[in-house]
């Protein structure tokens, strides 16, 4: 029986990641349906050998047993889940082949992890987290639901990142730092001390710049 995969939302970069991850593990899903429920502009035409990809403006969730989020920004992820209220048990993890993920770590549902990622022991990754390429996550770290971790981020041990937070490309987060929910850490930052909820912060060392009013959890 052929398996249909439903992608909820349409973000060009994240869908490219999903297809790349699926191909890396030879997970053949001949029918991939993309539900563009957020009305995002179509920039690219998605094609990939081995996948039949179709774009829909309306779908019946009951016709699918495997679902993944096709957006990257935390506020878009939250909007989809709160608006559609899908069965969370249908969400699958799409993880690139050959990663260094400790068997003593714990991953939630709907997690996307791209290539060249390392996750150390006793780390917890929440639901609907997106981790881009070349990311290193240390031991006993907690990453909350809906977070997005951009390429080249290094996270030390015993770090806590609150739900819905975005970590910018190339950021370094030092040992035992706590970053609040609904916060944005700018690219290239060095986070040496705790950062609260609902702020935009960046720099080396990372400092609070302003409140984050673009997202809400």
**pLDDT for 21-34, tens place per residue?**
888 886 666 688 88
pLDDT at 169 over 60: yes
Residue of 42, 49, 46 whose CA lies nearest to 26: 49
Q: Assess whether 139 carries a catalytic annotation.
A: yes
C-alpha to C-alpha distance for 25 and 106, rounded to whole angstroms:
20
Average pLDDT score over residue span 166-182: 98
Task: Enter the DSSP assignment of 94.
Answer: E
pLDDT at 7 over 70: yes
pLDDT at 213 over 90: no
Ranges 17-31, 70-84, 173-187: which has the least confidence: 17-31
Supply the pLDDT for residue 40: 59
pLDDT at 155 over 70: yes
Structure tokens at 89: 């048990």
Supply the pLDDT for residue 1: 38
| pLDDT band (50, 70, 90) for residue 146 | very high
pLDDT at 116 over 50: yes
pLDDT at 212 over 60: yes
C-alpha to C-alpha distance for 66 and 19, rounded to whole angstroms:
14
> 29 phi and psi, to 5 degrees?
-125, 90
Residue of 192, 180, 88, 92 whose CA lies nearest to 143: 180
The residue from 48, 122, 134, 139 that is catalytic is: 139
Average pLDDT score over residue span 84-109: 93
- Higher-confidence residue: 207 or 43? 207
For the chain, the average pLDDT equals 89
- Higher-confidence residue: 4 or 197? 197
Structure tokens at 57: 């403006």
The owner of tokens 């990311």 is: 135
Q: Does the pTM of the predicted model rise above 0.95?
A: no
């Amino acid at each position: 029986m052929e398996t249909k995969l439903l992608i909820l939302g349409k973000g060009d970069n994240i869908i490219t990641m999903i297809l790349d991850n699926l191909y890396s593990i030879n997970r053949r899903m001949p029918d991939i349906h993309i539900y563009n429920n957020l009305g995002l502009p179509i920039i690219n035409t998605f094609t990939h050998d081995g996948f039949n990809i179709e774009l829909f403006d309306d779908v019946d969730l009951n016709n699918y047993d495997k679902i993944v989020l096709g957006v990257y920004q935390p506020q878009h992820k939250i909007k989809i889940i709160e608006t559609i209220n899908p069965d969370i048990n249908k969400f699958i993890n799409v993880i690139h082949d050959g990663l260094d993920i400790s068997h003593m770590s714990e991953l939630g549902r709907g997690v996307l992890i791209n290539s060249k990622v390392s996750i150390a022991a006793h780390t917890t990754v929440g639901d609907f987290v997106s981790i881009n390429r070349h990311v290193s996550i240390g031991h006993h770290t907690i990453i909350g639901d809906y977070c997005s971790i951009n390429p080249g981020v290094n996270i030390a041990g015993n770090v806590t990142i609150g739900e819905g937070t975005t970590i910018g490309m190339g950021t370094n987060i030092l040992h035992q730092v706590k970053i609040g929910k609904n916060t944005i850490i700018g690219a290239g930052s060095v986070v040496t001390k705790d950062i609260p909820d609902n702020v935009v912060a960046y720099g080396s060392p990372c400092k609070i710049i302003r409140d984050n009013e673009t997202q809400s959890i």
